[in-house]
Chains A and B, each alone.
Chain A
Amino acid sequence: MRPPRWIPFLALLAAVCLATACRESGIQTDAIAAQAADAASLPNKAGSFKFAVLGDFGVGAKTQYQLADQMATLHDRFTYGTVVLVGDNMYGGERPQDFKAKFEKPYKPLLDAGVKFYASLGNHDAREQRYYKPFNMDGQLYYTFSPTADVRFFALESTYMVPEQVAWLEKELKASSSKWKLVFLHHPLYSSGERHGSDTLLKEALEPLFVKYDVSVVLTGHDHFYERVKPQKDITYFVVGSGGKLRSGNIDRGTGLTAKGFDTDLAFMAAEIDGDQMYFNTISRTGQVVDSGVLAARKPLSP
């Protein structure tokens, strides 16, 4: 007996529904993610602004070095000039030898190539890091820099959000006419971390400013995995606390926040801003692209 004709259509419909459900719940297999990555690799255009994001990395362990090797490998074919650090740059001791073992040695190829690292401080970081030249903080706990006319970064100190810092941020965001405003700080306003999760107190203080002044992307760490959060009020939030310490299986899939999560290995993010678009890849310790996509710059709310 021949099966009814509608069975293949039903199977197709079920497959489409399943894929949609997986995408919406943020649960993707590595195979699906890898296919998506192939389809949306970085354009690597001449003249675009290329950068990487790294967080919670300074442990000095072999796995940190392996991820650092992946960063150097990528740099060979995708010449980014900036790395943004989202805090917890140094775990444990911060003696001079720690700066060597946990930063200068693993990232030596990048430092030698002239890549500039810009740090924000996490709860494990001593205040003296702001004087450490390779972190380019110029002695400041919070600061801003603009690598190109279209792009401006704002680095915040999220363990001690004094009112002056919030006022400073508002002044700087307001004054900036850059098409791309990206904020980086340690504590995530949104995160599905079972260990830490979203910092709602910080969200109350900062999110209204991000919305009002057209911040497009917020880069954070603290939770030791990678997560791209579904856009919140049109802003894309990333958790990139996967640079050295891994909290395996720590993403709570029930938060409904996750657009894509990766909590089975270390990872860093590479990104490219070209005009109105920002392309990104997230690359694991083994060189797998575990997430990728394209974001659009937010348009100003008011003329």
Chain B
Amino acid sequence: MPSPDARRLLLVGLLGIVSSGCRDKDVPPPPPATAESPAAAPSTKRVVGPLSDADAKALKTMNDRMKSYLEIHTKLEAGLPELPKDPSPEQIDKNQRLFEQKMRAARASAKRGEIFTPEAETVIKRLLAAVFTTSQGKELMASIMDEYPAGLKLTVNGRYPDAIPVSTVPPEILQTLPKLPEDMEYRFIGRHMILLDTHAHVIADLIENALPKL
């Protein structure tokens, strides 16, 4: 009769054979979500490395804060005058600026780190660093830094400057970071990453030096 240790080894070996056989035959299951995403966002399909419980918790907190932000956003946007079916630039602009004012007033005391909490910031920086350590790191950086407006002062709850182009956010990064709802986007200004409310044109939060130095 084999000893308990030998039986354990046998069991592990059998499981290994079975699982490798399944891998060869079947399409591997999609990786788990990077983090729990807001209800309005589709589920994440790709991760960079496994997340520890602490990482997942940090991103969950970030998403909870984002949900709170979106509740305000949705409520205020619903209260705006309804645009006609074919709005004029005047009507679009007026509505947009009214929304910005309301949003900024509602978060008048907003501070950096309220959505990108310090814990979430650490995880996001690590996720970004992982993307940039690939062979494509320099191309990613060049793509983001294209038309980078140097010297721009960033303020949480401030309006994203009208005349400044937005950075490209390469697909590799969007596949890696936690998903955002349609109204929110990650954008970069130099090495800083902002969370941009694209309807209100407001910087909802930011992470300074989010991108690694290459």
Residues of A at the B interface (CB closer than 8 Å) are 91-96, 98-100, 122-124, 126-128, 131-133, 158-164, 166, 187, 196, 199-202, 204-205
Q: Give B9-60 interface residues, CB cut-off 8 Å to A.
A: 42, 45-46
Q: Give B140-166 interface residues, CB cut-off 8 Å to A.
A: 140, 143, 146-147, 162-163, 165-166
Tell whether, in the assembled complex, residue A133 and residue B163 are in contact, meaning their CB atoms are under 8 Å apart.
no
> Which residue of chain B is the closest to A103 with respect to CB atoms?
B89
Tell whether, in the assembled complex, residue A99 and residue B198 are in contact, meaning their CB atoms are under 8 Å apart.
no
Candidates B87, B90, B93, B172; contact of A201 at CB < 8 Å: B172
Tell whether, in the assembled complex, residue A159 and residue B169 are in contact, meaning their CB atoms are under 8 Å apart.
yes
For the complex, give the distance between the alpha carbons of A158 and B169 in Å.
9
Q: Counting CB contacts under 8 A, is B118 at the interface? A: no
Tell whether, in the assembled complex, residue B146 and residue A160 are in contact, meaning their CB atoms are under 8 Å apart.
no
Which residues from chain B contact A133 at a C-beta distance below 8 Å? 86-87
Q: Counting CB contacts under 8 A, is B167 at the interface? A: yes
Tell whether, in the assembled complex, residue A196 and residue B174 are in contact, meaning their CB atoms are under 8 Å apart.
no
What number of B residues sit within 8 Å (CB to CB) of A?
34
Tell me, rounded to whole Å, the shortest Cβ–Cβ distance linking B72 to chain A.
Answer: 19
Known: A96-B93, A204-B171. 16 other contacts (CB 8 A): A91-B163, A93-B162, A93-B163, A94-B93, A95-B89, A96-B90, A122-B165, A123-B166, A123-B168, A124-B165, A127-B198, A131-B83, A158-B168, A160-B185, A161-B169, A202-B170
Tell me, rounded to whole Å, the shortest Cβ–Cβ distance linking A70 to chain B.
Answer: 25
Main DSSP-derived SS at the B contact region? loop
Tell whether, in the assembled complex, residue B87 and residue A159 are in contact, meaning their CB atoms are under 8 Å apart.
no
For the complex, give the distance between the alpha carbons of A160 and B179 in Å.
12
Tell whether, in the assembled complex, residue A163 and residue B174 are in contact, meaning their CB atoms are under 8 Å apart.
yes
Which residues from chain A contact B136 at a C-beta distance below 8 Å? 201
Tell whether, in the assembled complex, residue B175 and residue A163 are in contact, meaning their CB atoms are under 8 Å apart.
yes
> Which residue of chain B is the closest to A197 with respect to CB atoms?
B142
Those 9 A-B pairs whose CB atoms lie nearest each other, nearest first: A96-B89, A99-B89, A123-B165, A133-B86, A96-B90, A201-B170, A161-B171, A205-B171, A124-B165
Tell whether, in the assembled complex, residue B163 and residue A128 are in contact, meaning their CB atoms are under 8 Å apart.
no
| 24 A-B pairs with C-beta separation under 8 A | A91-B163, A92-B163, A93-B162, A94-B93, A95-B89, A100-B89, A123-B166, A124-B165, A126-B201, A128-B92, A131-B83, A133-B86, A133-B87, A158-B168, A160-B166, A160-B185, A161-B171, A161-B174, A162-B174, A163-B171, A166-B171, A199-B143, A200-B139, A201-B140
